[in-house]
Amino acid sequence: MIELRGVSKTVESGGRPLTILHALDLSIPSGQFVAIVGPSGSGKSTLLGLLAGLDAPSTGQIVIDGTDITQLGEDQLAKLRSEKIGFVFQFFHLVPSLTAFENILVPMEIARRRDAVPRARQLLDEVGLSDRGHHYPSQLSGGEQQRVAIARALANDPPIVLADEPTGNLDTSTGKHIIEILLEVRRIRRSTLVLVTHDHELAALADTRLVLRDGRPVTTPVEAVR
């Protein structure tokens, strides 16, 4: 369960405070698929970064399975992130100097898993890249890089998967494949999936849709913001 209570984000912009996410309350039960949609600049990535503990809110509490992550120190937060959250970025964010296999190993080595090597093999297999483990990111297509990034996000079996426009940088058919993988992951692992997307057909498949505009939730139907 993820609960947001009065979560907002204000940044400094040109020497003035600018609120990019207004106080938001949100409950996401475990196993739910939530789609976040809204125009560019509406605060989607800001919200996802807050949910992931990658950024701190200006006000409010973010409670993940009973723990208010805004109260955690850096080490505790890093530990919680490594155990509970897998994050998939729009631009993959793989480490360029590491092979696909090594990229997947990283989070497991941080978590000191003994089964890291066989698990990395299994994860590569799960995303259909068993024969690409020795390739560097620059030797892989965008879709392949994103599959490696998904395998890396799943490395420690996180109950929560967050994805920020994971297909935003891919052609349509590759993007469809990536989404199929994410939905399959969610089905098999019963993980919570919070997905930022511009794809309204995809958003329609979600249990809940959150439409943001100018840092606030919009209550009009998803179709209205096309």
Q: How far is the CB of 45 from ligand ADP (least distance, A)?
A: 3
Q: In terms of Cα–Cα distance, which of 131, 109, 187 is closest to 147?
A: 131
81 binds, among ligand ADP, Mg ion, none (CB under 5 to 8 A by kind): none
User: E strands along 127-224, which residues?
Assistant: 160-164, 192-196, 208-213, 216-218
- Inter-residue contact 175 to 2 (CB < 8 Å): no
Which 31-50 residues touch Mg ion, going by CB under 5 A? 44-45
The count of residues interacting with ligand ADP (CB under 6 A) is 11
99 binds, among Mg ion, ligand ADP, none (CB under 5 to 8 A by kind): none
Which position among 7, 8, 34, 42 is part of the footprint of ligand ADP (CB under 6 A)? 42
- The only residue of 2, 20, 108, 116 in contact with ligand ADP, by rule CB under 6 A: 20
- Tell me which residue of 87, 31, 38, 66 sits closest to 207, measured CA to CA: 31
Question: Phi-psi region for residue 115, left (φ > 0), alpha (ψ -120 to 50) or beta?
Answer: alpha
56 binds ligand ADP (CB under 6 A): no
| 40: contact with ligand ADP by CB under 6 A | yes
Token digits of residue 149: 């990034």
CA distance 208 to 109: 34
Asked if 43 touches ligand ADP (CB under 6 A), the answer is yes
Q: Closer to ligand ADP by CB, 13 or 122: give it.
A: 13
Tell me if 57 contacts ligand ADP by CB under 6 A: no
Close Cβ partners of 98 (under 8 Å, ≥ 6 residues apart): 106, 136
Nearest CA to 168 out of 132, 204, 187, 143 is that of 143
11 touches ligand ADP by CB under 6 A = yes
Q: Contact letters (x/-) for Mg ion, 44-83, by CB under 5 A? A: xx--------------------------------------
Q: Which of 8, 46, 156, 167 binds ligand ADP (CB under 6 A)?
A: 46
Question: Beta strands 59-64 and 2-13: pairing type?
Answer: antiparallel
Residues that bind ligand ADP (CB under 6 A): 11, 13, 20, 38, 40-46
